[in-house]
Chains A and B, each alone.
Chain A
């Protein structure tokens, strides 16, 4: 899988947990090792404030990432001090983590390090680019708990989602939430040039942009939350589509449906889409259509059937059912599979 992704130009991959304690770090280490064996020198960076203290697989204190000789990391200086002699500190950055300023370092010897999260997405994007410049064949972005931002297609080229037992006590509940998330993440990118132009304008102007009769019209509203402004802006005209600058929620979608437009909606990217599957189904049944300006390339879904709360699901059963939902996206178990699918 990694070799193919690299051949297709993927230089950065985020690992995102669909819940707290999903088991991201284990997956990250497994994938990075796999990549290293394929000649992809890893670079590591974490996004957001990570609150997980213990690893869900081992139940031990959260494991650090394993870095081979020559591997690169972006983390707080204090975390590099733990094995100060193992590192060549290469560059300081103006970016901040909860543990202090972020430094770029290269391992002089095989070692381990904990990652302190870079708190801003644009900062992560810059770090990803810099780590690539410094020689990382694949930059791994460790997405902190509940931070869909790590999956942003504006930050990384592709994403691996981790479905952990910690998502819920019943497998049915986990499957339901997984399906919801995967469906939203994999909705299509807009292809129509007019729709794409409208979405680009919505993004750059931070305004709603309407489409009708083959033309684009910037509307005097920046969010669906401003219902009165949106209602006024849309009234009296027959709209074919609408591009949103910000997030789409159930409330926003219900509101648009109440206006009675069979709209084609375009959202910036899947990390801005917060609608439930039931509302989305209703929208589709009414003739609606939802697409993204930039979609996420979902490279794989990893499962972890063990919860740190002391319960577990049958690994084979969970894997089979998640695979059924995620088809055609490959599903793997980082701990039990001896090889990553496609490797």
Chain B
């Protein structure tokens, strides 16, 4: 699917509703490919997984909330994995990230199959527990991470020694300060400092006392602290030694963890992929909930019942109107939609395109029932395709895009909106009919919308027509007041698609133009001209049954 096709189908708006929660899921979304022909089994399995997740969530709301919460908090350990692969030593917070991933991933690994047994995991629960145990070998593991004696028995005694030396150093400092405070009216603040007023008569004596160390001064006061005693200095030396030994053991633990995780690297890589997959599936399921998605079955042609374009449906709903579901079959060859202007033909076209694209990207689709093939490409030539960059007009750009599909592998889906309308009607009609003839015979699937009656002469094409305007509207009084025309038109238009079996197709353009406010004189003139044209060319077309 190229960019123009995406724009025509409003794919990017829909795509933005697909929101994986985890960084891994978001990355996977960026590189997500559609299922391709030959992957039908995987495609259906993926859809079945989403159905399973949805059923589980709908029947156990609390379970759904917990899964959602865990996914939101699941960290991305990819950077830590890369460090481990390079045998670099991750820092404490990196190990914490890995542990959080394993802890929360393990919960998901346990919870998902409980409620959605069809969801397939390749990793084993035991592998997750083993990973956690490497970082937390204690009897009661937790989601937190710390360098505890359970990781190395030397830690406990070393930590006690550090605490002991710290206590000794403090006691030594306290003794030194107390001695000074017995000799002078001084009290330390919470910083352990004496603040001595410059006007204090004792200042000189205090500053000359070797037990007192001046640390800084202000215009009003001098700030001092006890000079370190030999006892304190010795305690600090021992404390620093204990800290150094402790840090060395901590470094050793972290290095050892790198070695213990080496055999676990394939599992970790798989676990990251698995969580990204779960996140994608959860996000697909949630996005599809917005359009009440159903599972498309595999089939040779696109059979859509009750198809809806969710964005168009939302707009209509805001206007107090409802979307007329699309029922259509688009098989190999050419399928054509005919009908009046403003009859929803292009909406039907984009609905089919969007459903096809969503299905192919592994989503439950907005239709009551559907089956579809996996195709090698989907191209939509819809709307004003004028390409100012390459200097092509609407007609030129349209032809170029259609021509490009001929070099694509056979079996794709082409959606075309009124091919040939951008040039003179005689040539446009001939071109459109010829193209339909070609499409009817080639191995692609195509759906096109047209006003050219010549297209209907292509016998192999499957044709649908929009039911069209209610016949009562022809007698409406024209012109309606401002804005009324659109309302009358919307209410009087039957947007349903029905197979065309050769019956006359009503011409409603002038009625619609009238409803939209074109003056009566112009309409009458057009009607007169139409009568002349019909008389001149009526015989041939009447035999095809396409005039009223």
Judge: A and B partners, yes or no.
yes
User: Which residues does A use to contact B, with CB under 8 Å?
Assistant: 26, 29-30, 33-34, 57-59, 77-78, 80-81, 84-85, 87-92, 94, 103, 106, 108-110, 305-306, 311-315, 334-338
Please determine whether B92 and A338 come into contact, CB atoms closer than 8 angstroms: no
The answer to whether residues A80 and B189 also contact, given A85-B250, A89-B145, A92-B73 and a CB cut-off of 8 A, is: no
Q: Kindly state the separation between the CA atoms of A84 and B249 in the bound complex, as whole angstroms.
A: 12
Task: Name the A residues within 8 Å of B195 (CB-CB).
Answer: 335-336
Query: Which of B44-52, B213-221, B430-438 lines the interface with chain A?
Result: B213-221
Task: Name the A residues within 8 Å of B191 (CB-CB).
Answer: 26, 57-58, 335
18 contacts between A and B (CB under 8 A): A29-B190, A33-B190, A57-B191, A84-B250, A85-B147, A87-B146, A88-B144, A89-B96, A89-B144, A305-B218, A311-B219, A312-B218, A313-B220, A315-B221, A334-B189, A335-B191, A335-B193, A338-B187
A336 CB to closest chain B CB, in angstroms? 5
Please determine whether A80 and B92 come into contact, CB atoms closer than 8 angstroms: yes
Please determine whether B190 and A88 come into contact, CB atoms closer than 8 angstroms: no
Please determine whether B220 and A103 come into contact, CB atoms closer than 8 angstroms: no
User: Which residues does B use to contact A, with CB under 8 Å?
Assistant: 72-73, 75, 91-93, 96-97, 100, 143-148, 159, 162-163, 166, 187, 189-191, 193, 195, 216, 218-221, 246-247, 250
The answer to whether residues A94 and B218 also contact, given A85-B147, A103-B93 and a CB cut-off of 8 A, is: no
Please determine whether A85 and B190 come into contact, CB atoms closer than 8 angstroms: no
Please determine whether A88 and B93 come into contact, CB atoms closer than 8 angstroms: no
Please determine whether B146 and A306 come into contact, CB atoms closer than 8 angstroms: no
In the complex, the chain B residue whose C-beta lies closest to that of A31 is: B190
Task: Name the B residues within 8 Å of A91 (CB-CB).
Answer: 143-144
Please determine whether A84 and B93 come into contact, CB atoms closer than 8 angstroms: yes
Give the contacting residue for B97; candidates A90, A92, A306, A313; CB below 8 A. A92
In the complex, the chain A residue whose C-beta lies closest to that of B146 is: A88
Q: Kindly state the separation between the CA atoms of A295 and B38 in the bound complex, as whole angstroms.
A: 67
Task: Name the A residues within 8 Å of B159 (CB-CB).
Answer: 109
Task: Name the B residues within 8 Å of A110 (CB-CB).
Answer: 166
Please name the 4 residue pairs, one residue from A and one from B, whose CB atoms are nearest each other, closest first.
A84-B92, A77-B93, A88-B146, A89-B96
Please determine whether B75 and A92 come into contact, CB atoms closer than 8 angstroms: yes
In the complex, the chain B residue whose C-beta lies closest to that of A106 is: B144
Task: Name the A residues within 8 Å of B163 (CB-CB).
Answer: 109
In the complex, the chain B residue whose C-beta lies closest to that of A103 is: B93
The answer to whether residues A335 and B93 also contact, given A312-B218, A312-B220 and a CB cut-off of 8 A, is: no
Q: Kindly state the separation between the CA atoms of A85 and B96 in the bound complex, as whole angstroms.
A: 12
Q: Kindly state the separation between the CA atoms of A311 and B217 in the bound complex, as whole angstroms.
A: 11
Told that A77-B91, A305-B220 touch, could you supply 14 new A-B pairs with CB distance under 8 A? A30-B190, A77-B96, A81-B92, A85-B147, A88-B144, A90-B143, A91-B143, A94-B73, A108-B148, A313-B220, A315-B220, A334-B189, A335-B193, A336-B195
Give the contacting residue for A85; candidates B97, B143, B246; CB below 8 A. B246
B260 CB to closest chain A CB, in angstroms? 18
Give the contacting residue for A314; candidates B143, B189, B220; CB below 8 A. B220
Please determine whether B92 and A87 come into contact, CB atoms closer than 8 angstroms: yes
In the complex, the chain B residue whose C-beta lies closest to that of A69 is: B163
Q: Kindly state the separation between the CA atoms of A334 and B193 in the bound complex, as whole angstroms.
A: 12
Q: Kindly state the separation between the CA atoms of A85 and B253 in the bound complex, as whole angstroms.
A: 11
Please determine whether B247 and A85 come into contact, CB atoms closer than 8 angstroms: yes
Please determine whether A338 and B96 come into contact, CB atoms closer than 8 angstroms: no
Q: Chain A binding site: helix, strand, loop or mixed by DSSP?
A: mixed
Q: Kindly state the separation between the CA atoms of A89 and B143 in the bound complex, as whole angstroms.
A: 9
B456 CB to closest chain A CB, in angstroms? 57
The answer to whether residues A94 and B147 also contact, given A33-B190, A89-B96, A109-B159 and a CB cut-off of 8 A, is: no
Please determine whether B93 and A338 come into contact, CB atoms closer than 8 angstroms: no
Q: Kindly state the separation between the CA atoms of A10 and B73 in the bound complex, as whole angstroms.
A: 30
A85 CB to closest chain B CB, in angstroms? 4
A340 CB to closest chain B CB, in angstroms? 9
Task: Name the A residues within 8 Å of B97 (CB-CB).
Answer: 92
Please determine whether B96 and A92 come into contact, CB atoms closer than 8 angstroms: yes
Task: Name the A residues within 8 Å of B219 (CB-CB).
Answer: 311-312
Q: Kindly state the separation between the CA atoms of A59 and B217 in the bound complex, as whole angstroms.
A: 11
In the complex, the chain B residue whose C-beta lies closest to that of A101 is: B75
Q: Kindly state the separation between the CA atoms of A243 and B252 in the bound complex, as whole angstroms.
A: 62
B137 CB to closest chain A CB, in angstroms? 15
B270 CB to closest chain A CB, in angstroms? 22
Please determine whether B92 and A334 come into contact, CB atoms closer than 8 angstroms: no
Please determine whether B216 and A58 come into contact, CB atoms closer than 8 angstroms: yes
Q: Kindly state the separation between the CA atoms of A33 and B191 in the bound complex, as whole angstroms.
A: 10
Q: Kindly state the separation between the CA atoms of A211 and B166 in the bound complex, as whole angstroms.
A: 64
Task: Name the A residues within 8 Å of B190 (CB-CB).
Answer: 29-30, 33-34, 334
Task: Name the B residues within 8 Å of A338 (CB-CB).
Answer: 187, 189
Task: Name the A residues within 8 Å of B91 (CB-CB).
Answer: 77, 81, 84
Task: Name the A residues within 8 Å of B73 (CB-CB).
Answer: 92, 94
Please determine whether A59 and B220 come into contact, CB atoms closer than 8 angstroms: no
Q: Kindly state the separation between the CA atoms of A287 and B318 in the bound complex, as whole angstroms.
A: 48
Task: Name the B residues within 8 Å of A59 (CB-CB).
Answer: 216
Task: Name the B residues within 8 Å of A85 (CB-CB).
Answer: 92, 147, 246-247, 250
B318 CB to closest chain A CB, in angstroms? 22
Q: Kindly state the separation between the CA atoms of A91 and B93 in the bound complex, as whole angstroms.
A: 11
Give the contacting residue for B145; candidates A88, A312, A314; CB below 8 A. A88
A173 CB to closest chain B CB, in angstroms? 18
Please determine whether B93 and A80 come into contact, CB atoms closer than 8 angstroms: yes
Give the contacting residue for A89; candidates B146, B221, B246; CB below 8 A. B146
Give the contacting residue for B92; candidates A57, A89, A90; CB below 8 A. A89
Task: Name the A residues within 8 Å of B147 (CB-CB).
Answer: 84-85
In the complex, the chain A residue whose C-beta lies closest to that of B147 is: A85
Of B190, B193, B246, most A-chain CB atoms within 10 Å: B190
Please determine whether A78 and B93 come into contact, CB atoms closer than 8 angstroms: yes
Q: Kindly state the separation between the CA atoms of A108 and B155 in the bound complex, as whole angstroms.
A: 12
Q: Kindly state the separation between the CA atoms of A92 and B322 in the bound complex, as whole angstroms.
A: 46
A315 CB to closest chain B CB, in angstroms? 6
Please determine whether A335 and B220 come into contact, CB atoms closer than 8 angstroms: no
Q: Kindly state the separation between the CA atoms of A156 and B221 in the bound complex, as whole angstroms.
A: 35
A64 CB to closest chain B CB, in angstroms? 14
Task: Name the B residues within 8 Å of A89 (CB-CB).
Answer: 92-93, 96, 144-146
A289 CB to closest chain B CB, in angstroms? 42
B236 CB to closest chain A CB, in angstroms? 15
Task: Name the A residues within 8 Å of B72 (CB-CB).
Answer: 94
In the complex, the chain B residue whose C-beta lies closest to that of A32 is: B190
In the complex, the chain A residue whose C-beta lies closest to that of B193 is: A335
Q: Kindly state the separation between the CA atoms of A77 and B143 in the bound complex, as whole angstroms.
A: 16
Q: Kindly state the separation between the CA atoms of A94 and B100 in the bound complex, as whole angstroms.
A: 13
Q: Kindly state the separation between the CA atoms of A106 and B166 in the bound complex, as whole angstroms.
A: 20
B252 CB to closest chain A CB, in angstroms? 12
Of A33, A58, A88, most B-chain CB atoms within 10 Å: A88
Q: Kindly state the separation between the CA atoms of A90 and B145 in the bound complex, as whole angstroms.
A: 7
B22 CB to closest chain A CB, in angstroms? 11
B540 CB to closest chain A CB, in angstroms? 65
In the complex, the chain B residue whose C-beta lies closest to that of A335 is: B189
In the complex, the chain A residue whose C-beta lies closest to that of B93 is: A77
A59 CB to closest chain B CB, in angstroms? 7
Task: Name the B residues within 8 Å of A77 (CB-CB).
Answer: 91, 93, 96
Please determine whether B220 and A108 come into contact, CB atoms closer than 8 angstroms: no
Task: Name the A residues within 8 Å of B193 (CB-CB).
Answer: 335
B97 CB to closest chain A CB, in angstroms? 7
A102 CB to closest chain B CB, in angstroms? 11
Q: Kindly state the separation between the CA atoms of A30 and B191 in the bound complex, as whole angstroms.
A: 8
A114 CB to closest chain B CB, in angstroms? 14
The answer to whether residues A306 and B187 also contact, given A84-B147, A87-B92, A92-B100 and a CB cut-off of 8 A, is: no
Task: Name the A residues within 8 Å of B189 (CB-CB).
Answer: 334-338
Q: Kindly state the separation between the CA atoms of A91 and B246 in the bound complex, as whole angstroms.
A: 25
Task: Name the B residues within 8 Å of A58 (CB-CB).
Answer: 191, 216
In the complex, the chain B residue whose C-beta lies closest to that of A336 is: B195
Q: Kindly state the separation between the CA atoms of A33 and B190 in the bound complex, as whole angstroms.
A: 8
In the complex, the chain A residue whose C-beta lies closest to that of B188 is: A338
Q: Kindly state the separation between the CA atoms of A269 and B534 in the bound complex, as whole angstroms.
A: 77
